[in-house]
Amino acid sequence: MHEICGLPAGDREDSAARMQLDIVIIALGRNAEDPAWASVYPSIIDAAERDPEIAALQAGLHKAFMPPFHAAVEQAKDRGEVQPEKSAAEVTAAVVGPLFYRRWFSKEAIDDRFIENTIDGAVKAALGR
């Protein structure tokens, strides 16, 4: 049986959009768990509030992180898997926001179950279910 993040395919919403989001969120989750990235990125976000040059750096990093999410959502819209009125930014925020919350606010692990539940919620919302 096909598995993503250790869960059988029948236990979650199956679609190409689902599989694409699995891939990009796992990569982002791994980056968030990396000690170097996890200690530097919050400092960049904080400093960006006060320094225009660091704000430009942070905007560039954000711009580099998000295209895979936006592409997955736009492709899913083309296939009819996501409601056309849903913006890529809205669906991306529903997936990425919980990762950032868990990593830097609650300090809980970003494990497979959390990733699965996060994607499930975003996919269901994007499908209007």
Closest CA to 64 of 113, 103, 35, 27: 27
Residue-wise pLDDT tens digits, 39-59: 788 888 899 999 999 999 999
Q: What is the mean pLDDT of residues 86-109?
A: 85
pLDDT at 17: 61
CB 11: neighbour CB atoms within 10 A?
A: 11
Q: What is the DSSP-derived secondary structure letter of residue 10?
A: G
**CA-to-CA dists, residue 114 to 76, 88, 119, angstroms:** 22, 21, 9
- Write down the pLDDT at residue 50: 97
| Domains of the chain by residue range | 16-127
**Amino acid 48: pLDDT:** 94
- Tell me which CATH code domain 16-127 carries: 1.10.357.10
